[in-house]
């Protein structure tokens, strides 16, 4: 068992708050990704779990044991760094065995664990080489092999693939995910790459300015962002956000998008009552907008500004009212820049957000307003 609980963590550097009252639970054998832009606090939080940077306040436990102020060697964790952190003067075998030797493991145990780790990473035939004789991808495999050889129950990874080229990153992503699933270790993985996070994590914790904004499964984050930042950070292209005005008539709301009237989902009618006459943000993914080549009921004509052929799809840039949005179409869809297409927006696929706070408007937010 290796459940990690972070409670009310705070870390400051002078007046700068790097971690702002963060609480997060990583379940036993779970793969959690800390995701966010540079400077959001994700690496600082990881280093606090590793013991490489102490918190100013808060608590971290592993399996109920308070490790907040323990030195790294007493935490029973392994870590893989962004820059590999392997020793150039040591051969591959000695690099992988380094942690085991520090723990004074026997020669037989060291040999066995090094070989097993090397086989898992497909570098068992390179144990007699020096790192300088190996590629970047092979060096990264050494770093991962060294981390898993010590057989800890917690693995921390700080942007381990960021120094690899795009094709190798794609290959290593799949290998790492498969490997960690087999090992059954509890993993915290830091990255700023949202595609990496989406493809690898059981859950993703999105951070910004030291705060934890949303912790959810990849598809829940993608489909139901808690706020505007999460919706704009997750996905390529990001979620479209349009300006809408809520209007109530005969007890039912509509949302005006320029000259177009959109009926919101029925379960949000109560949540929209406080917004009558107000402007909100209307979010929708590019692939959820239906594109038609001719006029149809409930379809809005727009002029195509740019067409980007991407192989698996064409990405259109169009103007809807005062907003510029992206629309995904099939690569065979007949369209050209300057042409007209008709858009149909499915009400079930829209996400409504408060213009002032940026928070998602949900059935839960309606209940909170009633209780306030």
What are the Cα distances from residue 76, in Å, to 7, 232, 325, 334, 352?
20, 37, 49, 59, 45
How many angstroms separate the CA atoms of 28 and 25, rounded? 10
| Equal CATH topology for 4-232 and 237-371 | no
Average pLDDT score over residue span 45-64: 95
- Name 352's Cβ contacts closer than 8 Å, sequence gap at least 6: 244, 255, 264, 268, 271, 272, 280, 281, 282, 283, 360, 361
Sign of CA dihedral 253, 258, 259, 262: negative
User: In the CATH scheme, what architecture does the domain 4-232 have?
Assistant: 3-Layer(aba) Sandwich (3.40)
Please give the pLDDT value at position 1: 66
Higher pLDDT, 76 or 317: 317
Pairing of strands 340-344, 323-329: unpaired
Confidence band, pLDDT 50/70/90 cuts, at residue 366? very low
* DSSP string for 127-180: TTS-GGGS-HHHHHHHHHHHHHHT--SEEEEESTTTTS-HHHHHHHHHHHHHHH
132-185 pLDDT, tens per residue? 888 888 888 888 888 888 888 899 999 888 877 777 788 888 888 888 888 889
Q: Tell whether the model's pLDDT for residue 212 goes beyond 90.
A: yes
Average pLDDT score over residue span 121-138: 87
Task: Tell me what the pLDDT averaged over the chain comes to.
Answer: 90
Q: Tell whether the model's pLDDT for residue 365 goes beyond 70.
A: no
How many angstroms separate the CA atoms of 159 and 40, rounded? 14
Average pLDDT score over residue span 300-323: 92
Please give the pLDDT value at position 372: 43
Please give the pLDDT value at position 332: 92
Fold of 237-371: OB fold (Dihydrolipoamide Acetyltransferase, E2P) (2.40.50)
Average pLDDT score over residue span 91-99: 91
How many angstroms separate the CA atoms of 165 and 160, rounded? 12
Confidence band, pLDDT 50/70/90 cuts, at residue 63? very high
Q: Tell whether the model's pLDDT for residue 58 goes beyond 90.
A: yes
Is the peptide bond prior to 237 cis by the omega test (within 30 degrees of 0)?
Answer: yes
What are the Cα distances from residue 77, in Å, to 24, 149, 150, 178, 317?
18, 11, 9, 20, 47
HSE, CB side, 13 Å, CA atoms: give it for residue 238.
13
- What ranges do the domains of the chain cover? 4-232, 237-371
Please give the pLDDT value at position 364: 61
Average pLDDT score over residue span 89-103: 89
249-267 pLDDT, tens per residue? 888 899 998 878 888 988 8
Average pLDDT score over residue span 270-287: 94
How many angstroms separate the CA atoms of 257 and 242, rounded? 7
This model's pTM is above 0.85: yes
């Amino acid at each position: 068992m290796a459940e990690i609980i972070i409670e009310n963590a705070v870390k400051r550097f002078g007046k700068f708050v790097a971690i702002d009252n963060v609480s997060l639970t990583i379940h036993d054998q779970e793969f959690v990704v800390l995701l966010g832009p540079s400077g959001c606090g994700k690496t600082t939080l990881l280093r606090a779990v590793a013991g490489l940077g102490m918190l100013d306040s808060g608590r971290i436990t592993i399996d109920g044991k308070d490790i907040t102020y323990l030195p790294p060697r007493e935490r029973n964790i392994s870590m893989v760094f962004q820059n590999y952190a392997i020793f150039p003067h040591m051969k591959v075998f000695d690099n992988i065995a380094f942690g085991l030797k520090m723990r004074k493991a026997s020669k037989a145990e060291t040999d066995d664990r090094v070989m097993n780790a090397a086989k898992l990473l497909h570098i068992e035939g390179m144990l007699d080489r020096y790192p300088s004789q190996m590629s970047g991808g092979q060096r990264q495999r050494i770093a991962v092999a060294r981390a898993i050889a010590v057989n800890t129950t917690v693995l921390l990874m700080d942007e381990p693939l960021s120094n690899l080229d795009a094709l190798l990153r794609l290959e290593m992503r799949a290998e790492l995910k498969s490997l960690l699933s087999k090992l059954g270790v509890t993993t915290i993985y830091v990255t700023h790459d949202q595609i990496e996070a989406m493809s690898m994590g059981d859950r993703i914790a999105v951070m910004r300015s030291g705060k934890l904004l949303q912790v959810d499964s990849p598809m829940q984050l993608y489909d139901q962002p808690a706020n505007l930042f999460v919706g704009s950070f997750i996905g390529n292209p990001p979620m479209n956000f349009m300006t809408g005005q809520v209007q109530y008539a005969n007890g039912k709301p509509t949302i005006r998008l320029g000259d177009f009237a959109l009926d919101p989902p029925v379960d949000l009618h109560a949540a929209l009552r406080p917004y009558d006459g107000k402007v909100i943000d209307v979010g929708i993914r590019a692939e959820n907008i239906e594109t038609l080549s001719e006029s149809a009921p409930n379809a809005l004509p727009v002029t195509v500004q740019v067409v980007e052929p991407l192989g698996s799809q064409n990405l259109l840039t169009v103007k809807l009212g005062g907003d510029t949005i992206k629309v995904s179409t099939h690569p065979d869809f007949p369209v050209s820049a300057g042409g007209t297409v008709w858009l149909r927006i499915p009400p079930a696929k829209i996400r409504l957000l408060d213009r002032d706070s940026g928070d998602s408007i949900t059935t839960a937010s309606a209940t909170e307003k009633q209780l306030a």
